[in-house]
């Protein structure tokens, strides 16, 4: 998750907490925690009561380790949930909002199997897919409560955050009044959120995008370039040709902790630059070209032709003016190599 979705989710978490603190039911019953997962998984905000919870900064990293995230979640449930015994009343059934905009990059099957066999009656997962690149099929294997926020504009995101807040408030009132153990979600605004009940209605969504990571030549800091597939087709009387390409959608500055959140597994997936439309400038130093490639495979920024020091391999590389249109293959991975 990067760019606007990442920023809006951080702001949204602050809005949720601010609103819930004005709800007397929530103040009495709600405990919050936050788990982040990319290539790595970590609890970034331990479970605490609502007045003591402060929304954390959300990290960035390559990968979507859903399996690791589920195993970590199950461990956190075991560690933090108080069980009902003859001597004490335990915690209410936890509600988990799983928010993702990607496809799993690890082996998630054992984790989903363990969740289904041992945990689905201990906690309720509400999975929310941001945009059309999340894997709805996998989310449906995990939970029946899957919603799609296809449009992630500012107004749609505000309504989504309001729905999450209302759902937590509704659940907290059920706890306070001793209602049944059923999930008490707020009414879904169908103009914003779609309940994923039949996957066949969503098969047309293209799941492909290209993520490339480069380094600023001057500041040595990483940045992320994102391209999204633009499906296109040329057809004639006898033939039909797929001319799809990936359109540039954003370039975002990163910090070094991006790599600590990435799984680090080398990828064999590549893309030809002829399939990519649009070349950004560097978000760190403002160099005109953020998509120059060293012979080591690392992506860096340059401002003009000439010699440059590669921030990946520390070797000097010469970039010349290319009068002829050329293309090259580049790796789709954590460091563009």
The DSSP annotation for 244-288 comes to -EEEEEEEEE--THHHHTS-------EEEGGGEE--PPPTTT--S
- Please report, for the chain, the start and end positions of each structural domain, with discontinuous segments joined by +: 4-202, 209-331
Q: Is the pLDDT of residue 165 over 80?
A: yes
- What is the SS3 assignment for 98? strand
- What is the SS3 assignment for 155? helix
**d(Cα 114, Cα 121) in Å, to the nearest integer?**
12
User: Quick one: pLDDT band at residue 266, thresholds 50, 70, 90?
Assistant: low
**d(Cα 210, Cα 124) in Å, to the nearest integer?**
33
User: Quick one: pLDDT band at residue 206, thresholds 50, 70, 90?
Assistant: very low
**d(Cα 146, Cα 128) in Å, to the nearest integer?**
6
Q: What is the predicted pLDDT for the residue at 92?
A: 78
> What's the length of the chain?
337
Residue 73 tokens read as 């979640």
**d(Cα 293, Cα 52) in Å, to the nearest integer?**
47
User: Quick one: pLDDT band at residue 312, thresholds 50, 70, 90?
Assistant: very high
pLDDT tens digits, 57-113: 988 888 889 999 999 999 999 999 877 677 777 677 889 999 998 889 899 999 999
Q: What is the predicted pLDDT for the residue at 245?
A: 80
The CATH class of the 4-202 domain is: alpha beta
Least confident interval from 9-13, 42-46, 162-166, 324-328: 324-328
User: Quick one: pLDDT band at residue 126, thresholds 50, 70, 90?
Assistant: very high
Q: Could you tell me which residue, 216 or 176, shows the higher pLDDT?
A: 216
Q: What mean pLDDT is reported for the chain?
A: 83
Q: What is the predicted pLDDT for the residue at 334?
A: 47
């Amino acid at each position: 998750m990067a760019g606007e979705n990442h920023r809006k989710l951080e702001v949204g978490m602050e809005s949720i907490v601010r609103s819930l603190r004005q709800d007397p039911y929530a103040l009495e019953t709600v405990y919050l925690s936050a788990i982040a997962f990319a290539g790595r998984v970590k609890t970034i905000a331990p479970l605490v009561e609502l007045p003591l919870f402060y929304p954390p900064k959300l990290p960035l990293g390559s990968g979507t380790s859903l399996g690791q995230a589920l195993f970590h979640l199950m461990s956190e449930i075991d560690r933090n949930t108080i069980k009902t015994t003859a001597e004490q009343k335990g915690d209410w059934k936890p509600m988990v909002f799983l928010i993702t905009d990607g496809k799993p990059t690890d082996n998630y099957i054992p984790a989903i199997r363990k969740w289904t066999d041992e945990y689905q009656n201990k906690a309720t997962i509400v999975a929310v897919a941001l945009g059309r690149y999340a894997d709805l099929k996998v989310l449906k294997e995990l939970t029946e409560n899957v919603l799609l926020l296809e449009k992630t504009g500012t107004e749609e995101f505000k309504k989504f955050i309001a729905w999450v807040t209302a759902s937590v408030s509704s659940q907290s009132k059920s706890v306070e009044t001793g209602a049944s153990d059923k999930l008490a979600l707020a009414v879904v605004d169908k103009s914003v959120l779609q309940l994923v009940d039949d996957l066949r209605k969503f098969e047309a969504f293209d799941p492909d995008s290209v993520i490339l990571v480069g380094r600023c030549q001057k500041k040595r800091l990483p940045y992320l370039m994102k391209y999204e597939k633009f499906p296109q087709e040329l057809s004639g009387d006898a033939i039909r040709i797929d001319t799809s390409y990936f359109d540039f959608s954003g370039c975002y500055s990163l910090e070094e902790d991006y790599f600590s959140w990435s799984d680090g597994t080398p990828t064999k997936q590549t893309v030809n630059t002829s399939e990519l439309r649009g070349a950004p400038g560097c978000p760190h130093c403002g160099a005109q070209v953020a998509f120059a490639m060293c012979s080591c495979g690392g992506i860096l920024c340059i401002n003009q032709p000439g010699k440059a020091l590669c921030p990946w391999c520390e070797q000097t590389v010469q970039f010349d003016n290319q009068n002829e249109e050329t293309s090259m293959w580049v790796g789709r991975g954590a460091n563009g190599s």
